Amino acid sequence: MIRTVLQVVLFRDRSRVFDGFRFRHPLVALVLLYGLIIATGVSSDYVTVEDPDGWWPLLFAVVAGSTALTLRSTLVAWRLATAGLVATRLLMPSEPSVLGSWQWWWYVPVLLAVATAHRGRVVLLVASITCAVLLSMDQGADVLQAIALLLVVLVLGYAVGARGRAERRFHAEQDEKAALVERARIAREMHDVVAHHMSLVVVRCETAPYRIADLPEAGEREFAELGAAARAAITDMQQLLGVLRESGRQADRTPQPGLADIRSLHADAAVTDAEVPEAVGLTAYRIVQEALTNAGRHAPGSTTSVAVDLVDDELRVVVRNTAGGPSLGGGGGHGLRGMRERVAVHGGSLTAEPTPDGGFAVRATVPVGRR
């Protein structure tokens, strides 16, 4: 509780309105314009009602500043706005209520920003301090009605903010779940590649006494132990694969695809004939497969191109598509994440971005022979 009090009263928080909004910049411009309009109204009202004694610039700055601060720190904005309420009450004692017409349009949005951005304890403490400040300046029936309306605003704002936070947590959990599923899929596919290499180790260890002349007895024992360890490793990987396999999923008996199979995905693909590790070839194949699937789903009718080349010990994969028809939708929205997961296994990088002609391009760089 002490931490919450310090957060509300002293610390600068980083809560902002419109964080994560798609059209954030236009909304920010509207908030700033709104603050200027309300600040002009408050200061003009002061000049009209009271003798112009030079305090109107202060009121203008407090109102415009507190509104603008909701974009950077809602609690700091609330502190400034609450101090501004006290200042306007002192400068305009003839006002019948603490919250006049202009003050409503100024103070309520600030409270709403606090309620939507913070959790229950912070909102409750802000409500308590706000009520105490208002009651200290006015004891009439009007202030009680104003407090009741402000509390309703805080409750509604908190409900909206809580729902938004719950949705963000849900989407974050879904993204994490999709990442785990994709990593398990990568592990299942990599199992075949690793098992193949381990099988070669077993064969070479078992045939070493027949291939190497005059092999001492100690060497034969060493090769036998290495072969047994390799067979045990294969068994362990098979057991691990059983854990990673989805419920009801049968084992895939077909060999994992590689560079040579990319032309089956795209007949005109330009694919290097260079030798690359099987795991790297599998990664390139899956990237091309996913990129072409995305192009067919989100740009139907577009023209696609595929280029896979080995440059300076790096396999470079580029899949482009031109602008196509309207997106057909569908898909889980995790294709790019899956491609990045695959490239990260090898310590590579991947970019996916629109092209100037209205199309889309996926570029992956996968180091060969190192991790």
Residues of the chain with pLDDT > 70: what percent? 85
Provide the pLDDT confidence category of residue 194 given band limits of 50, 70 and 90. confident
What pLDDT score does 332 carry?
Answer: 59
Helix (H) or strand (E) holding 91: helix 74-91
Look at residue 263 and tell me whether its pLDDT is greater than 50. Answer: yes
What pLDDT score does 258 carry?
Answer: 87
3-state secondary structure 104-154: HHHHHHHHHHHHHHCCHHHHHHHHHHHHHHHHHHCCCHHHHHHHHHHHHHH
Most confident by average pLDDT, 49-63, 102-116, 166-180, 235-249: 102-116
Most confident by average pLDDT, 206-215, 245-254, 262-271: 262-271
d(CA 220, CA 223): 5
259-367 folds as: Heat Shock Protein 90 (3.30.565)
Query: What average pLDDT does this structure show over 96-102?
Result: 76
What pLDDT score does 7 carry?
Answer: 59
d(CA 217, CA 111): 84
Placement of tokens 């009718």 in the chain? 301
Range of lowest pLDDT (11-25, 149-163, 178-192, 323-337): 11-25
What pLDDT score does 252 carry?
Answer: 54
Range of lowest pLDDT (69-83, 264-278, 324-338, 344-358): 324-338
Contact 331, 294 (CB under 8 A): yes
Q: What burial letters (b/e) apply to 133-170, b meaning 16+ CB within 10 Å?
A: ebeeebeeeebeebbeebeebbeebbeebbeeeeeeee
d(CA 21, CA 164): 11
Measuring CA to CA, which residue among 256, 253, 370, 367 is closest to residue 317?
Answer: 367
What pLDDT score does 164 carry?
Answer: 85
Look at residue 305 and tell me whether its pLDDT is greater than 90. Answer: yes
Give the sheet arrangement for strand 360-367, strand by strand.
270-271, 304-311, 314-321, 360-367, 349-354
What pLDDT score does 285 carry?
Answer: 92
Look at residue 290 and tell me whether its pLDDT is greater than 60. Answer: yes
pTM above 0.85, yes or no: no
What pLDDT score does 155 carry?
Answer: 93
Domain boundaries, the chain: 2-139, 178-244, 259-367
Most confident by average pLDDT, 42-56, 178-192, 198-212: 198-212
Provide the pLDDT confidence category of residue 154 given band limits of 50, 70 and 90. very high
Cβ-based neighbours of 261, under 8 Å, separated by 6 or more: 285
The tens digit of pLDDT for each residue in 226-255 reads 888 888 887 777 776 666 665 555 555 566
Query: What average pLDDT does this structure show over 301-315?
Result: 92
What pLDDT score does 349 carry?
Answer: 93
Burial of 87 (0-12, 13-18, 19+ CB in 10 A): middle
Contact 320, 361 (CB under 8 A): yes
Look at residue 205 and tell me whether its pLDDT is greater than 50. Answer: yes
What pLDDT score does 371 carry?
Answer: 42
Q: What is the mean pLDDT of the chain?
A: 83
Look at residue 145 and tell me whether its pLDDT is greater than 90. Answer: no
What pLDDT score does 142 carry?
Answer: 81
At 349, phi and psi to the nearest 5?
A: -140, 155
The tens digit of pLDDT for each residue in 6-48 reads 656 655 666 666 565 566 778 888 989 999 999 998 888 888 8
Tokens of 243: 């854990």
The tens digit of pLDDT for each residue in 108-123 reads 999 999 999 888 888 9
